[in-house]
Amino acid sequence: MSSVNSSSGSRDGITKQRGIPTRCNCGEAAALFTSKTIKNPGRLFHSCPMGSEKDKTHLFKWTDRSVVEEIEDF
């Protein structure tokens, strides 16, 4: 994981993390999950274990985008 894990604010008040996220804004550690949807089968994502599909205040980020940010910042 990057030591250059910078963040920037968003209009929702939710902090967006660049690179691979380690924590949600609520303080929970980010967890890695695999999508089981028809639209994104098998796609990996980081998410807060306390979040849900309806609750958009918790962390959700596709892992492939996180890795691209890590490479860009390197």
Bigger pLDDT: 6 vs 56: 56
User: What is the average pLDDT across 40-56?
Assistant: 90
Q: Looking at residue 56, what is its pLDDT?
A: 82
User: What is the average pLDDT across 56-69?
Assistant: 93
Give me the residue spans of the domains in the chain.
28-36+44-49+58-74
Q: Looking at residue 30, what is its pLDDT?
A: 95
> Of 3, 66, 4, nearest to 30 (Cα)?
66
pLDDT band, very low/low/confident/very high, at 14 (cuts 50, 70, 90): low
Q: Looking at residue 68, what is its pLDDT?
A: 96
Bigger pLDDT: 29 vs 17: 29
> Of 66, 72, 54, nearest to 17 (Cα)?
66
